[in-house]
Amino acid sequence: MEPEHTVTQTSSDAVAAIPSEAAPPAEAAAESPEALREALAAKTQEAERLQDRLLRLQAEFENYKKRMAREKVEFQKFAHEGLILEFLPVLDNLERALGAARAEAGSTPLLEGIEMIVRLFQSVLEKAGVRPMETVGQPFDPAYHQAVAQVETSHGDANLVVEEIQKGYLIEGRVLRPAMVKVSRAVSPKPGDDTGGEGAQA
């Protein structure tokens, strides 16, 4: 009998036995230059969009910080507004007392004391940004004045403040308390009448 021959197949032989069409072609594994350019353009657009969004967010944050700083300053300016309003009637009464004391002849320690208190009061208000309004002779402005009476006149301009009943005050340029005033009202003069009319209540 003839001896049997055993054929042993190595692993390398097995790999070589795989049909060549099962392996992807080398040129398919790499993307084409055109595809790479398109991908790069898309990433560039996305980066530009994100950069633009970041710049807008930074600008919005800067505006927010500026607005908060302005609001803080405004709050500090007007935080004591209510307290000052409570003190203004005290100053009104002091000034009335000072006017009455000055109407009497001579200077007294009481008059000097009242004058000193009024000056101190006014100085404190000025430090807080409070200023009295100038009203007499000014055109009537409802934003600053509260008319309590009208005075008829045939010799002057109409709608002017002719008398101040109660002082008005500004705080940092804003109205703290409007002034109570009397306002002129023009009337036609009567024949032979060279004097202005009597004051009339509004």
User: Helix axis angle, 109-127 relative to 81-103, nearest 10°?
Assistant: 150
How far CA 77 is from CA of 25, 66, 71, 97, 172, in Å, comes to 79, 17, 10, 31, 7
User: Region 142-165: what's the mean pLDDT?
Assistant: 88
| pLDDT higher than threshold 90 for residue 132 | yes
Q: What is the pLDDT of residues 42-69, one digit of tens each?
A: 888 899 999 999 999 989 988 888 888 8
Could you tell me which residue, 107 or 33, shows the higher pLDDT? 33
CATH class of 131-202: mainly beta
